[in-house]
Amino acid sequence: MHRLRIALAQINVTVGDLEGNKQKVLHHLDRARALGVDLIAFPELVITGYPPEDLLFKPAFIEANVNCLHEIVVESQGLAAIVGFVDAQDDLYNAAAVIHDGTLAGVYHKHYLPNYSVFGEDCYFQAGQTSSVFVIRGAAVGVSIC
């Protein structure tokens, strides 16, 4: 039986404040490390804030969000983290980076994009098609967004 100590970082971030949001993530990585956490999970689109809406039409914003993710990856030594960001492949995806001990282990793309009431994600993102299972300290971990 594997023991996995998990922290949920329910933090309040600001839409568009990439640097401020990144600093909050880094602060909570440090806290998690000090508490002996194995895996810390952050909110959906924690780097960009939710919902980023028309900011997604700015290529510089998307690139800066990815740069923030890479800085977070470098600072993640000693633990695993799930960090929400906007992934730009052939299109844009609402994504979760699975980070492990200073490396990007994988990326999950959100499958079900809401399009009702105040939600209009399918106007901005493509739906993901694949799911992955990651092994962290011997435990199988699946990732889902929302």
- pLDDT at 1 exceeding the cut of 60: no
Given the residues 24, 44, 63, 71, the one annotated as active site: 44
pLDDT, residue 26, reads 98
Given the residues 22, 24, 68, 110, the one annotated as active site: 110
pLDDT, residue 114, reads 87
Given the residues 53, 71, 75, 146, the one annotated as active site: 146
* Domain range annotation of the chain: 6-142
CATH number for the domain running over 6-142: 3.60.110.10
With b for 16 or more beta-carbon neighbours within 10 A and e for fewer, the 71-88 pattern comes to ebbeebeebbbbbbbbbe
* Whether residue 146 lies in the annotated active site: yes
Q: Phi and psi of 110, rounded to 5°? A: -55, 135
Query: In this predicted structure, which of 35-49, 51-65, 110-124 has the lowest mean pLDDT?
Result: 110-124
54-70 pLDDT, tens digit per residue, is: 999 999 999 999 999 99
Q: Which residue has the tokens 């600001």?
A: 14
Which residues lie closer than 8 Å to 112 by C-beta, 6 or more apart?
A: 127, 146
pTM of the complete model: 0.94
* Whether residue 110 lies in the annotated active site: yes
Strand runs labelled E in 66-136:
80-88, 92-100, 103-109, 133-136
- Give the other-Cβ count within 10 Å of 17's Cβ: 14
- 17 secondary structure, DSSP code: -
- pLDDT at 122 exceeding the cut of 70: yes
pLDDT, residue 137, reads 85
- pLDDT at 136 exceeding the cut of 70: yes
